[in-house]
Homo-oligomer: A and B are copies of this chain.
């Protein structure tokens, strides 16, 4: 058997070049070389939870320089070590964004909306794909009954608007956590944040919700938002951050939102690590562990906004942390 050493591979490559020049295939082909297709499959995936049809729709993936303080209580070297051992590029924050659409049979509900179009640098093709992927998946945004927002970070709310800054879901009720509204729409909170990195978030929330006259429905912990979709307060990442228990018949799903955010797998593996974007870091750690221990006890699968796409997985204990076991792809629904 041929050894797969780098040297063999390189000498193999030399042979290849020669073979190509002399024709390569032994048969004679009469057609031109087929061009590369160059297009990825549309970014959605569908599964059932009981009678509900769930469609996960990717907004895309961004890769940006890794901040030195990405994990507040770990050294950058430690983070890079995990990235390398996960076959990911070091010194890079690779983020995925995966909104969820649930058709309960009577209501069509979107949970979170992606980075939106035309505002941030990271939306240059790599992200901002939620709306086009949604249409590719066969869902008409005009038919959406409710858009549920988990928290007011830009990668969750910006997609409420289309490229013309109009409501992307014109017939939908927009449901937002009361705690988020209180935090981010309060003028005295914004004044206190003046000149800090958080200021932009206050301004962005006003930009997005202001574009449709602040017409939202506020909801609290435990609220049944739509039949079968219940809000569960998971504060820490932001003060009013919410997750969702989706139930149909005997089947359940936890839509975790940002219980683990950013490169979520880092915080699954090291649940005590604190993401720089977690506002109340100890509380974020507490919410994370509480929910993960619950879903483990109940064997409830988790849909993660920042999990590896398509983001449906079981969570397990693994040493002092957790690990996720992706649910296998079903090619036939």
Contact = CB atoms under 8 A, between A and B. Distances in A.
Interface string A21-59: 000111101110111111111111110000001010010
A27 B144 CA distance: 12
Given A15-B224, A24-B227, A29 B332 contact: no
Interface in A250-303: 252, 254, 287, 290-291, 294-295, 298-301
29 contacts: A4-B298, A5-B298, A9-B245, A12-B224, A13-B228, A15-B224, A19-B224, A20-B106, A25-B173, A26-B173, A26-B217, A27-B173, A33-B108, A34-B103, A34-B139, A35-B103, A37-B137, A39-B138, A39-B333, A40-B46, A41-B41, A60-B332, A61-B330, A61-B331, A96-B328, A125-B332, A308-B326, A308-B329, A309-B331
Contact of A6 (B105, B234, B298): B298
A16 B224 contact: yes
A15 B137 CA distance: 31
A41 B325 contact: no
Contacts of A19: 224, 226-227
Interface stretch (A73-81, A86-94, A153-161, A196-204): A86-94
Nearest to A27: B173
Given A13-B228, A108-B34, A41 B44 contact: yes
A3 interface: yes
Contact of A46 (B37, B61, B94): B37
A332 B137 contact: no
Contacts of A227: 16-17, 19-20, 24
A140 B308 CA distance: 31
A205 interface: no
